Amino acid sequence: MTPAVLIEKLQKRYGTVEAVKDVSFQIEPGEIFGLLGPNGAGKTTTLRCLCTLTEPDSGRIEVSGISVTEQPRLARQRLGYVAQEIALDKVLTGRELLQLQAALYHLPRAVISDRIESVLSLLGLQDYADKKTGTYSGGLKKRLDLAAGLLHQPDVLVLDEPTVGLDIESRLAVWDFLRRLREQGTTVLLTSHYLEEVDVLADRVAIIDQGVVIACGKPSELKDRVGGDRITLRIREFAPLEEAEKAKSLLQTIPTVQEVIINSSQGNSLNLVVSPQSDALLTVQKVLQEAGLPTFGIAQSRPSLDDVYLAATGRTLLDAEIAAAGTRDEKAERKKSMR
Amino acid sequence: MSSTMTSTKASLNGKVAVAQTPSSANPVGDFFQETIALTRRLFIQLQRRPSTLIAGIIQPLMWLILFGALFQNAPQGLFGDNVNYGQFLGAGVIVFTAFGGALNAGLPVMFDREFGFLNRLLVAPLSSRYSIVAASAIFITAMSLIQTAAIVAMSAFLGAGLPDALGLGLVALIVLLLVVGVTALSLGLAFSLPGHIELIAVIFVTNLPLLFASTALVPLAFMPIWLQWVATLNPLSYAIEPIRYIYLHDNWSLNSIVMQAPWGQVTLGTALLILLSFAAAVLLSIQPRLRRSLA
């Protein structure tokens, strides 16, 4: 079967910045595929290359077997792209925006109004269709943007950070909506830097870091592959580093503890990898108690997608976010996204 | 081209719909569909935010009334035999207004770039991305013709007279040529400059100097020689002088001499040719930039 999306050895550089170094993945029809990574990892650039907004330096990109670089118009017809920033014309009503969208995708006039009604009802927008989009709330805007992306019934719906900036209720509504889309057979590619979002939604996920895919597979498989259980330990709410170091050296002597990492971005808390189904939690508490160290909080869990990321990159997603926040040039990025 | 390639697939509400692929449609029809839709958007914006149009009509009328009054007591015959300043000024205001509107044509496109709306258009399977440019040009041209009509009517009311139908048609053609050239220039800038602040700055430094270095407000003969040279290199003068001539002479023809440039005489026909070349030159020169943004 032809994959819905095929990306092979994608590379894209902006000046001296290698935004995408080596990205390859394949999406089967009907899947929800998640692209997970910190801000600045190359997710948006990958999507922009896929949606013909940016010319890749090298690599192969196909949508339903159509090369996006060789037959961009055909490929565009098969793709629905919902960008991270919601760009609506605030003077138009929702219905007028969809009418514009219908003309841009050359839908036959006979089907346009039926098609608009069906996406409006699909996203629960009937009551707002004839109001100006400038009066919409953030959640409504996103729903209209999704409706616009779906209007021409694309093979693949491409969503860049679909729930960033949304309230919890709208976010859950988007999740629910994407699941219903999958039931109807639409392929969905979404990027996210929310672990939870990818974990609950995606059938398969590619984790991307600094322009490279570092892991790809079903979320459950990826987590199993990392192995071990996780213990998060906070000695104090904000522990001094020496105390954390002291606890670390003590805990490393426990046989069921495989690894200890001090997480400086979380008040010097300790992240432990321990043998699964062991009594490590009790042992850790006992060792701390004997050494006279306090315990502010301690929790054991199965590995998460964050642990998959941590295992591959040596830092947590949050750390990567924080590190990236200081080094990113927002203005330059905005400029490169402008055509 | 009736060979339709259609594929059926389940539509979102469960019914079966026909999904169209671009290869099934004819490219010319597609181009019209997308251009009309994009133009419609601009007219909906105008209808809901009419302030630009209202201001765009009030401003030239103020020019006519206030500037006209400023020179009301100028010595008779200063602007030509039996010509009062109001009659002289009409042509200048028509051209200056059309020029100002066209110069601003790039602003909405720049805002679309900045707010990401342009991306919405660029991910769509447009038959040609020049439909985006065409829609702006159609819109601005329509605006300019509405403004011109208002100025012509007001000038007539103020006693500047009214050219015959053919004359009015030629006035419209001259406005059209200038608007196409300047709109193209503005759209080229809208795709080249980094943001709307820069675009507004360019508009700001272009607008009034080009007005004062043209024959809009005073005849060429009033100017020092160096300014005469500048004014006769200014495309605005080639729109103003023919319109003025048509206004002041019933017996105009393409051979009528409309301007005495320091380097020779300019006929109405030559002025039209120069405007046409200006529009063509600008259209050609922005091609590479547009192709880079819209290819």
Q: Tokens representing B248?
A: 């002041």
Mean pLDDT in residue range A5-28 = 93
- Contact criterion met (CB below 8 Å) for A204 and A189: no
Instruction: Give the pLDDT of residue A335.
Output: 67
Q: How far is B202 from chain A (nearest CA, A)?
A: 19
pLDDT in tens, B103-122: 999 999 999 999 999 999 99
pLDDT digit string, tens, across residues B117-152: 999 999 999 998 889 989 999 999 999 999 999 999
Asked whether the beta carbons of residue B125 and residue A105 sit closer than 8 angstroms, the reply is yes
Residue pairs between chains A and B whose CB atoms are closer than 8 Å? 117
pLDDT at B3: 34
Confidence of residue B4 (pLDDT cuts 50, 70, 90): very low
CA dist., res. B190 & res. B208, Å (int): 20
Q: What is the pLDDT of residue B47?
A: 94
Average pLDDT rounded to a whole number, residues B57-84: 81
Least confident range from A29-38, A76-85, A303-312: namely A303-312
pLDDT given at position B7: 35
| Contact state of B18 with A111 under an 8 Å Cβ cutoff | yes
Query: Rounded to an integer, what distance in angstroms lies between the CA atom of residue A235 and that of residue A223?
Result: 27
User: Distance between CA B32 and CA B133 in Å, rounded?
Assistant: 13
As a whole number of angstroms, the distance between CA A314 and CA B77 comes to 87
pLDDT tops 80 at residue B156: yes
* B16 near A CB under 8 A: no
Q: How confident is the model at residue B295 (pLDDT cuts 50, 70, 90)?
A: low
Residue of B nearest to A155 (CA): B9
Q: What is the mean pLDDT of residues A175-199?
A: 90
Chain position carrying tokens 């969809």: A98
Asked if A74 lies within 8 A of B20 by C-beta distance, the reply is: no
How near does any CA of chain B get to the CA of A178, in Å?
12
For residue B6, the model assigns a pLDDT of 33
Kindly report, residue by residue over A96-142, the tens digit of the pLDDT: 999 999 999 999 989 999 999 999 998 999 999 999 999 999 899 99
**What's the rounded mean pLDDT across residues A335-339?**
68
Q: Per residue in A39-76, pLDDT tens? A: 888 999 999 999 999 999 999 999 999 999 999 999 99
Average pLDDT of span A32-43: 90
pLDDT at residue number B281: 95
Give the fold, CATH level 3, of A228-302.
Alpha-Beta Plaits (3.30.70)
Per-residue confidence band for B81, with pLDDT thresholds at 50, 70 and 90: low
Q: Measured between CA atoms, how close is A338 to chain B, in angstroms? A: 6
DSSP letter, residue A246: H
How many distinct structural domains can be found in chain B? 1
Cross-chain residue pair A104–B20, CB shorter than 8 Å: no
- Angstrom distance (rounded) from CA A7 to CA B182: 43
SS3 A232: strand
Q: Do residues A249 and A60 touch, judged by C-beta distance below 8 A?
A: no
Residues in contact with B93: Cβ distance below 8 Å, sequence separation at least 6, in sequence order: B60, B63, B64, B67, B151, B155, B216
pLDDT for residue A5 is more than 50: yes
Which helix (H) or strand (E) is A298 found in, with range? Answer: strand A297-301
What domain range includes position B169? 27-294
Ramachandran bin of B261, using left for φ above 0, alpha for ψ from -120 to 50, beta for the remaining angles: beta
For residue B179, the model assigns a pLDDT of 95
Nearest CA among A97, A45, A93, A38 for reference residue A326: A38
Q: Is residue A36 a contact partner of residue A192, using CB atoms and an 8 Å limit?
A: yes
CA gap B126, A76 in Å, rounded: 9
Chain A CB within 8 Å of residue B53 CB: no
pLDDT score at A322 = 76
Assigned superfamily of A5-221: P-loop containing nucleotide triphosphate hydrolases (3.40.50.300)
Which tens digits make up the pLDDT trace of A224-252? 888 888 898 998 888 888 888 888 888 88
Please count the residues of chain A.
339
Note whether B124 contacts A: Cβ–Cβ < 8 A. yes
Residue B17 has a pLDDT of 39
Which residues of chain A have a Cβ shorter than 8 Å from any chain B Cβ? 51-53, 73-74, 76-77, 79, 81, 83, 85, 87-89, 91-92, 96, 99-108, 111, 115, 118-119, 121-122, 132, 148, 150, 152-153, 184-185, 335, 337-339
Nearest alpha carbon to residue B272 among B160, B172, B155, B138: B172
Instruction: Identify which has the larger pLDDT, A184 or B39.
Output: B39
Instruction: Cite the DSSP H helix spans in chain B.
Output: 27-48, 51-62, 68-70, 85-103, 106-115, 117-122, 130-157, 165-192, 196-212, 225-233, 235-248, 268-294
Q: A-chain residues within 8 Å CB-CB of B45?
A: 89, 91-92
**Coil, strand or helix at A187:** strand
C-alpha distance from A51 to closest chain B C-alpha (Å):
6
For residue B22, list chain A residues with Cβ-Cβ distance below 8 A.
73-74, 77, 106
Computed over every residue of chain A, the mean pLDDT equals: 89
- Asked whether residue B22 is domain-assigned, the answer is no
What is the full DSSP assignment across A193-226? S-HHHHHHH-SEEEEEETTEEEEEE-HHHHHHHH
DSSP string, A128-164: GTTSBGGG--HHHHHHHHHHHHHTT--SEEEEESTTT
pLDDT tens figures, B161-220: 888 899 999 999 999 999 999 999 999 999 999 999 999 999 999 999 999 999 998 889
Average pLDDT, chain B: 86
Domain boundaries, chain A: 5-221, 228-302
ipTM passes above 0.90: no
Residue A336's pLDDT is 66
Distances (CA, A) of B197 to A87, B78, B114, B122, B190: 20, 42, 11, 23, 11
Residues of A in contact with B109 (CB under 8 A): none
Chain A contact set for B30 (CB, 8 A): 106
Q: Are the Cβ atoms of A77 and B115 closer than 8 angstroms?
A: no
Number of neighbours of residue A153 by Cβ within 10 angstroms: 23
Report CB contact under 8 Å: A339, B127.
no
**Is residue B5 pLDDT above 50, yes or no?**
no
